[in-house]
Amino acid sequence: MALKVFSINGAADLLEKDRATLVRALRHVPPDEYQGGQPRWRMPTIIDALATRPQARREIGKFRDRYSIGRSRPLDGMRVIFEKKIALMSAERSRDKRRAMAVALAPLLQEYQTTYLDIGRSLRIVGDDVLSARAELIWSEMMDEVSEAAEWPRHGDDFFIKMIEAMRPGADDDEAA
């Protein structure tokens, strides 16, 4: 049986906590799923977030985004897909399959970065150079997580080359022509 998921308001009522307390606790915790485009968390996730000290909460979120661009629906959806695929990759026993899954995930990383930049530019919150640097940092964090889940050293073997090649669909067609 799947665990029930809760909105912040639903969890606040159930736990008899202030809504603002839950907002602060869950600020950097990726939702377990989305319902109607709204984030939802499982109760164990909420309890863990509440048990985490406020100082530690700031460092637990992945893909830290100072500009809160990551709170857009397209990026949230991609982040959920990314997290699920990372979990599947981590659970896979075969090294070759993990590496194939990593390469299959590469286009999503590129799409995430492109979407992040497009949204950031449309919001005009910072200069393009600052926004690009932040996008590169987030992309790098995602690549590190893929490398770790695939047990494929990022700066060794051919991880980086294979990932970049997978991000360029049709590149082989161009070279053959």
Its sign, for the CA torsion 108, 80, 151, 131, is positive
Question: Span 81-95, mean pLDDT?
Answer: 89
In the beta sheet, which residues pair with residue 134?
none
pLDDT at 12: 92
More confident residue, 157 or 106: 106
Contact assessment for residue 87 and residue 57, using Cβ atoms and an 8 Å cutoff:
no
Tokens of 29: 């915790």
Secondary structure element (H or E) that encloses residue 53, with its range: none
Per-residue pLDDT of 100-143, as tens digits, reads 999 999 999 999 999 988 988 888 877 888 888 888 888 888 88
Boundaries of every domain in the chain: 5-60, 69-170
Per-residue pLDDT of 6-30, as tens digits, reads 999 999 999 998 888 888 888 778 8
